[in-house]
Structure 1
Amino acid sequence: MRGAVLYAPGEVRVEQRADPTIEQPTDAIIRLAATCVCGSDLWPYRGLEPINGPTPMGHEYVGVVEEIGREVKNIKVGDFVIGSFVISDNTCEICQAGYQSKCVHGEFVSATIGTQAELARIPLADGTLVATPGQPGPELVPSLLAASDVLGTGWFGAVAAEAGPGKTVAVVGDGAVGLMAVLAAKQLGAERIIAMSRHPERQELARFYGATDIVQERGDDGVAKIKELTNGLGAHSVIEAVGTQESMMQAIRSTRPGGHVGFVGVCHGVEVPGEELFFSAVHLHGGPAPVRRFLSELIELICNRTIDPGRVFDLTLPLDQAAEGYRAMDERRAIKTLLRP
């Protein structure tokens, strides 16, 4: 099969890789209908995370089941399925508490799988994969793909921040996850949603998803603007969707006492001053999103045409042009690249 492999910072090649096979009786093999480039893929692409030799890339995926292990019961060959970027059994105590991303048997869909490819082996298929009701039309595939990571991650950010009716929600970050957090806050009933963005095309999409206000300022100026919009108090709920020191502190400082920060940006070099956190009196919760917790609900919302997260993909390319998809996102010419195997 063909698959994208990162050889060094800035060097992505699409090359022949061995077809996956059933290795455990709980595995499934799926033929990918669509995959994509994630913002977190840009960390190693930019040389900000080390790689140990050629690394198969990709962790977001939808497709049709081609083969299952003998112990797989919940899905069958021919099903169209979506899975989380974290493999989980969905039965352990941690999964049952709603934190499948920390499953006791969990593993990240990473170099051992690499879903920017034509085929993928998904371990613990019964716990990880969810089938759609019938075969979706091609117009729904991008939205279902978004549910595999960015939509579920933005949704978790909004849930962790306790976005809801009567709340003012601020979203730090205007990438795909931040835009999905805007969508989630809207669906959860937030009264006011402030998107922090400097880019007109992203501002437009944020408004489409439910943003009522746009703040272009960053850092201390951004915090001051949030305070100005909230009678000096700060937002009830703030979603941090970047993962840098500046974005985390901007999120904490934009939150009113007693409010909630949901952080879902993959942290790099973030150090929260303990004394400031103590006296801020804010709740802080987040981490890798338990996408599996939300998949059934998100699939229903998408199939009912209640939400349209697929609009976050503003560049679609064949898999063979994966390198251009990475470049476009790295240069901020694209919000998120969808790849068609």
Structure 2
Amino acid sequence: MRAAFMYKAGDVRVEDTPDPVVKQPTDAVVRVVRSCVCGSDLHPYHSLSAADGPAPMGHEFLGVVEELGSDVSGLRRGDLVVSPFAFADNTCEYCREGLHTSCPKGGWYGVGEVGGAQAEAVRVPQAQGTLVKLPSDVDSALLPSLLTLADVYGTGYHAAKQAHVRPGDAVTVIGDGAVGLLAVLSAKQLGAERIILMGRHKDRTDLGRYFGATDVIPERGEEGIAKVRDLTGGHGTRAVLEAVGHMPAYEMAVGAVRPGGVISRVGVPQYEDAPVGFGSLFGPNVTLTGGPAPVRAYIDELLPAVLDGTVEPGRVFDRTVSLEEVPQGYRAMDRREALKVLVAP
């Protein structure tokens, strides 16, 4: 089959690789129908060393079940399924608590012997607990929105849930990438009254307004923080959702949150040392939360509104490429020529 590999920073290739096969009785093999390039894929695109490549790429996909291990029940060959970006057994104590990303039997696509999803097919460990069956007659126009359930919609929703966004809240969202925009949508769904989106790309912030942003702040740093405080009577907002992962975004979050508030981080941190001392978080009683989203915990909750068209998270996809064109998709996202690239093999 054909699959995408990253050899080093900036070097993505689509190559022949052996077809995936069932290796464990809990596995499935899924033919990929839709996948995509994630903003988090750009981190290795900027930094991967040649010594760490080639790395199989992709962790978000919809597909059709082709093979099932002997221990997998509840699924059949031919089922259309969506997979969270992290696989898990969905039965352990962590999964039962909604923390699937900490499942002892779980893991990540593209790591170890598990291939990536920017491919014609993928082996899914812990298939029974991971894969969510979708209607077989689903309208193909819904496939982009259904694909967001694999990661970016669930991740934006996780940001809002971890911040305990509630009706009437004021929320700041930092970042106008796909996760940030879907954090806006999620905050709106949870009843936020004022949603301040910090982003400077008008085409993206316009989509943010469509999803529910009431205010847009293009300024960064201290100037951006001052704008948030100007809009909130000098206080900042109770919830700040940080969807970038770089230190300047974290610093803006600390500046934009009000005393007693919550900073919820879902942007993969590209730093190790973040201020949490008296002057930043401790003194004003600010809570710091977030982490990799256990999107499997949210799919059943979010799926109905996607299926009936009440929400359209798939609007974040603004370019479609074939599997062979995946390297061009990376370049387009890296150059900010595309918000999020859909891959239709």
Asked if Structure 1 and Structure 2 have the same fold, meaning a TM-score greater than 0.5 normalized by the shorter chain, the answer is yes
Q: Against the structure 1 CA distance between its residues 285 and 51, is the aligned structure 2 distance closer, same or farther, given a 3 Å change threshold?
A: farther
**Root mean square deviation, CA, Å:** 1.2
Secondary structure of 1:33's aligned partner: strand
User: Aligned runs of 1:122-271 on 2, under 5 Å?
Assistant: 122-271=124-273
Query: Relative to structure 2, which stretch is displaced further, 106-115 or 217-226?
Result: 106-115
Number of corresponding residues: 341
Secondary structure of 2:21's aligned partner: coil
Q: Which amino acid aligns with 2:7?
A: Y
Partner of 1:284: 288
Please give the per-residue CA displacement for 1:179-198, whole angstroms capped at 9, x wherever unaligned.
Answer: 11011111111111111111
Q: State how far apart, in whole Å, the 1-side matches of 2:177 and 2:105 are.
A: 30
Q: Which amino acid aligns with 1:47?
A: S
Q: CA deviation at 1:252?
A: 2.0
Q: CA deviation at 1:83?
A: 1.0
Q: CA deviation at 1:28?
A: 0.8
Please give the per-residue CA displacement for 1:240-259, whole angstroms capped at 9, x wherever unaligned.
Answer: 00011111121122111111
Q: State how far apart, in whole Å, the 2-side matches of 1:141 and 1:51 are.
A: 36
**Structure 1 gaps, min length 5:** none
Q: Against the structure 1 CA distance between its residues 50 and 271, is the aligned structure 2 distance closer, same or farther, given a 3 Å change threshold?
A: farther
Normalised TM-score (structure 1): 0.97
Secondary structure of 1:280's aligned partner: coil
Q: State how far apart, in whole Å, the 2-side matches of 1:93 and 1:289 are.
A: 17
Q: State how far apart, in whole Å, the 1-side matches of 2:301 and 2:135 are.
A: 12
Normalised TM-score (structure 2): 0.96
Runs of 4+ in 1 over 3 A off after TM superposition: 48-51
1:16 aligns with 2:16: yes
Q: State how far apart, in whole Å, the 1-side matches of 2:43 and 2:6 are.
A: 12
Contact preservation (8 Å) 1:44, 1:51: no
Partner of 2:65: 65
Contact preservation (8 Å) 2:7, 2:50: no
Contact preservation (8 Å) 1:44, 1:50: no
Secondary structure of 1:40's aligned partner: helix
Q: State how far apart, in whole Å, the 2-side matches of 1:34 and 1:54 are.
A: 22
Q: Which amino acid aligns with 2:219?
A: E
**Overall identity of the aligned pairs, in %:** 50
Partner of 1:119: 121
